[in-house]
Amino acid sequence: MKHTISVLVENEFGVLSRISGLFSGRGFNIESLSVAPTLEPNTSRMTIVTTGDDRILEQITKQLNKLISTIKVVDFTSKDFIARELALIKVATEAETRAEALRIVDIFRAKVIDVTPKTYTIEITGAPGKINGILELLRPMGVKEVVRSGPVVIGRGAKGVAG
Amino acid sequence: MKLTGSQILLESLKCEGVDTIFGYPGGAVINIYDDLYDSSINHILTRHEQAAVHAADGYARCTGRVGVVIATSGPGATNTVTGIATAYMDSIPLVIITGQVPTPLIGNDAFQEADICGITRPCTKHNFLVKNIRDLARTVKEAFYIARTGRPGPVLIDLPKDIQVNTLEFNYPETVELRGYKPTYSGNFRQIEKAAKMILEARRPVLYVGGGINLSGANAELLALAELTRIPVATTLMAMSAFPQRHPLALGMLGMHGTFCANMSVTECDLLIAIGSRFDDRVTGRIDSFAEKAKIIHVDIDPTSIKKNVAVDLPIVGDLLDVLSKLKESFDQKTEQLGVFREQLREWQSDIETWRERHPMAYQPSDTVIKPQYVIQKLREFSNDDAIITTEVGQHQMWTAQFFSFSQPRTFLTSGGLGTMGFGLPAALGAQVAFPERQVIDISGDGSFQMNSQELATLVQYQLPVKIVILNNNYLGMVRQWQQMFFDKRYSQTVMELPIDFVKLAEAYGAVGFNATQVDEVETVIQKAFATPGPVLINFKVSREENVLPMVPAGKAIHEMVLAS
Ligand SMILES: Cc1ncc(C[n+]2csc(CCOP(=O)(O)OP(=O)(O)O)c2C)c(N)n1
Ligand SMILES: [Mg+2]
């Protein structure tokens, strides 16, 4: 089963390799990982999407917690949360498909951020499912390149995750 | 007054109560060695950085204190890796300080540069690269704190050369503030009450005890709990000295080379109480039939140990000292129920006695060749109860665990988790440094001994009276045993073709050496060795193709033992 985990870590030398090394060394799998500093000083937040059964997920969260550099681990899977991902998509466009491409962009509330005679580059944010959706529709035109950020997540409601 | 980084390092070590360092100099730590030249800290120069780490490890295992190592950058640092991994697998507190090239050169493939933080990340509890002298004292403080608290382990500090020469006012921090590191010491009261209840409901309970008992210093608490409840105690390799092996409740070692009695008891028990043990595959054999009929209580300070390999009915996270004391207190309130419980254990105890008598730990004695097991028994007979025994890895290690009958905590130092040949001699060296007055014996194999035999020089230089016992079968015996049992006796690369004159080797270093080839020499040569001051090596020519039995073949359940005939 797919799990989305937020990890608050010390923003220090080598911390990313501690986390990624933990996953590779113990045979856990990483589907996506994103990381950036938070407002708290010296603190970064990682969002990791991983898969595994309950036993593996319990090990993953425990092992993450065991790292000295880890401040807090939250598995959002059973919680109410919002996930958003950014994707940049370069799609091939011919004169006859341009209008269709724009219609799709419109429907998904995406944006065209770069245009050449033969391509549109589209920016879209949304839940990972929404990005899969637009890709599905654009694919017949010829998607030349996709860059996805991997999702970041935040819990619903007033309470935040803090170290 | 301002101090240099290297002076700050040594002052910080003193603040941590360090009086002994094991190490080896080089360009990237030359400033530290210059300050050590007239320091009050005692430095032991081993002949290899791996040995320095094992020596510090041996020192830590028998004292419970943090062992300290210094090595230079590059090859000095990479030489420490096996030692660090050995300590990591057995949760031994060490602080390893490595020199590093100057910070501006890091990443440039400078002379003797190695990314030792990268290399040791998976085999240290934590590691640090000090990039600013302002962080140095705090880093040392944190390193010691991390190494010795919670589940102990090795911590490495990589110290670039320019930081060693920069200067700063020295201020040692009094407290440690680590947001991400707060071990749980106090066991949850309700969980402990539940454990007490589960124990009272059990009819066939077993305590399955691991190295955590020694690490937490909970030996007396374990003994008290076992005696109060009369629950029998099976010990892992790491815990052979954690519970007195001649105690009537001792079942002996469990697992691959465990006693029939321990393995049967675990197989038939209805409650397995795992204490500071971690369900290693050498203990469990085929995992799905391990303690199949039992509910499991698992007590450990490290939450990741719990439910890693087996499902657990009742987890308790905490320091064993705390949890075992509370458990005993709980039973002290339940005298009546406990009386009934102990009455009901009689049947279980008689089952256990039957197993014990049916297949006691035994071997075929001989008048014509020296049996390795006989040597171990004689060593036990002629050594003191507080003698510290180290081993290398192989058959001799297992025979030591099976036949030595340890009686005092922290007297058996062996590489359990990593199984590192070459551990025993330097570990004995470190133990002897810690306890100059006690007997220290390295029980070795002819193969393993050659992995760190250069440490004879260190023993002689510091006049450390370690007794080295080589059980010489001219084989990499343990591998040969597997080849005999599972590979049609195809002894591929396990015959030590070259007979080595170990006595001459000892003498070349200035140590004393004895050979023993006859059975009737065994006692006298052991006595002679103990009576001889300084380091002594005894080379016992033992029966070559002796096997370690019982043995649970790989992939089998632990009750499916091959037994001694
Ligand atoms: C560093 C290292 N290399 C290889 C091994 C694999 N190994 C385990 S036991 C053993 C044989 C040890 O031979 P010896 O020291 O003579 O002991 P014996 O088994 O003969 O008592 C070997 C090669 C190991 N444990 N450690
Ligand atoms: Mg041998």
Distance from residue B429's CA to the centre of ligand 1 (Å): 20
Q: What percentage of chain B reaches a pLDDT higher than 90? A: 99
Does residue B364 carry a catalytic annotation? no
Cβ atoms B96, B53 nearer than 8 A: yes
Closest to B146 (Cβ–Cβ): which among A17, A25, A68?
A68
> Would you state the pLDDT for residue B54?
99
Q: Is B447 in the pocket of ligand 1 (CB under 6 A)?
A: yes
> Would you state the pLDDT for residue B365?
97
- pLDDT at position B72 over 80: yes
Residue to probe by mutation, ligand 1, list B421, B443, B547, most atoms within 8 Å of CB = B421
In terms of Cα–Cα distance, which of A50, A101, A97 is closest to A77? A50
> Would you state the pLDDT for residue B71?
99
In terms of Cα–Cα distance, which of B151, B198, B183, B149 is closest to B327? B198
- Looking up tokens 């080839």 gives B517
Q: Is B529 in the pocket of ligand 1 (CB under 6 A)?
A: no
Mean pLDDT, range A40-49, rounded to an integer: 96
> Would you state the pLDDT for residue B399?
98
- pLDDT at position A163 over 90: no
CB contact under 8 A, A14 and B117: yes
CA A3 to chain centre: 12
Shortest CA gap B451–chain A (Å): 28
Mean pLDDT, range B199-228, rounded to an integer: 98
Shortest CA gap B425–chain A (Å): 31
Mean pLDDT, range B31-53, rounded to an integer: 98
Q: Spell out which residues have Cβ within 5 A of ligand 2, the ion.
A: B 445-447, 473, 475, 477
Closest to B304 (Cβ–Cβ): which among A66, A69, A71?
A66
d(CA B108, CA B169) in angstroms, rounded, equals 31
pTM reported for the whole predicted model: 0.97
Q: Edge-to-edge, what's the strand order for the sheet holding B250-253?
A: B250-253, B233-235, B205-209, B271-275, B295-300, B314-317
CB contact under 8 A, B180 and A68: yes
Q: What percentage of chain B reaches a pLDDT higher than 70? A: 100
Q: What are phi and psi of B324, to 5 degrees?
A: -70, -35
Shortest CA gap B565–chain A (Å): 41
In terms of Cα–Cα distance, which of B202, B279, B267 is closest to B238? B279
Best to test chain A binding among B141, B304, B312 (most A CBs inside 10 Å): B304
Query: What residues in A contact B178, CB-CB < 8 Å?
Result: 68
Does residue B49 carry a catalytic annotation? yes
- pLDDT at position B565 over 80: no
Mean pLDDT, range B152-157, rounded to an integer: 98
Residue of B nearest to A13 (CA): B129
Q: Is B475 in the pocket of ligand 1 (CB under 6 A)?
A: yes
For the record, the structure tokens of B44 come out as 């032991």
In sequence order, the β-bridge partners of residue B316 are: B299
Cβ atoms A98, A51 nearer than 8 A: no
pLDDT digits (tens, 9 = 90+) for A71-108: 999 999 989 999 999 999 999 999 899 999 999 999 99
Does residue B125 carry a catalytic annotation? no
pLDDT confidence tier of residue B454, bands split at 50, 70 and 90? very high
Does residue B398 carry a catalytic annotation? no
Residue nearest ligand 1's atom 13 by CA: B476
Cβ atoms B254, B264 nearer than 8 A: no
Residue nearest ligand 1's atom 18 by CA: B477
Mean pLDDT, range A27-32, rounded to an integer: 96
pLDDT digits (tens, 9 = 90+) for B43-58: 999 999 999 999 999 9
Q: Is B300 in the pocket of ligand 1 (CB under 6 A)?
A: no
- pLDDT at position B158 over 80: yes
pLDDT confidence tier of residue B70, bands split at 50, 70 and 90? very high
- pLDDT at position B180 over 90: yes
In terms of Cα–Cα distance, which of B224, B546, B263, B223 is closest to B398? B546
Mean pLDDT, range A113-118, rounded to an integer: 96
Residue of B nearest to A64 (CA): B304
Q: What are the distances in angstroms from CA A119 to CA A94, A123, A149, B349? A: 8, 13, 21, 81
CB contact under 8 A, B125 and A69: no
Residue to probe by mutation, ligand 1, list B442, B473, B478, most atoms within 8 Å of CB = B478
Nearest ligand to residue B399 Cα: 1
> Would you state the pLDDT for residue B389?
98
Q: Which of B16, B49, B221, B392 is catalytic?
A: B49
Task: Tally A–B CB contacts below 8 A.
Answer: 41
Cβ atoms B284, B309 nearer than 8 A: yes
Mean pLDDT, range B362-371, rounded to an integer: 97
pLDDT digits (tens, 9 = 90+) for B291-350: 999 999 999 999 999 999 999 999 999 999 999 999 999 999 999 999 999 999 999 999
pLDDT digits (tens, 9 = 90+) for B252-293: 999 999 999 999 999 999 999 999 999 999 999 999 999 999
Average pLDDT, chain B: 98
pLDDT confidence tier of residue B426, bands split at 50, 70 and 90? very high
ipTM given for this complex: 0.93
pLDDT digits (tens, 9 = 90+) for B231-241: 999 999 999 99
pLDDT digits (tens, 9 = 90+) for B498-551: 989 999 999 999 999 999 999 999 999 999 999 999 999 999 999 999 999 999
pLDDT digits (tens, 9 = 90+) for B106-138: 999 999 999 999 999 999 999 999 999 999 999
Query: What residues in A contact B179, CB-CB < 8 Å?
Result: 10, 71, 163
Query: What residues in A contact B181, CB-CB < 8 Å?
Result: 68
Q: Is B459 in the pocket of ligand 1 (CB under 6 A)?
A: no
Q: Is B392 in the pocket of ligand 1 (CB under 6 A)?
A: yes
Query: What residues in B contact A55, CB-CB < 8 Å?
Result: 307, 311
E strand spans, B165-317? 167-169, 205-209, 233-235, 250-253, 271-275, 295-300, 314-317
Residue of B nearest to A63 (CA): B304
Q: Does A40 touch chain B (CB under 8 A)?
A: no
Does residue B290 carry a catalytic annotation? no
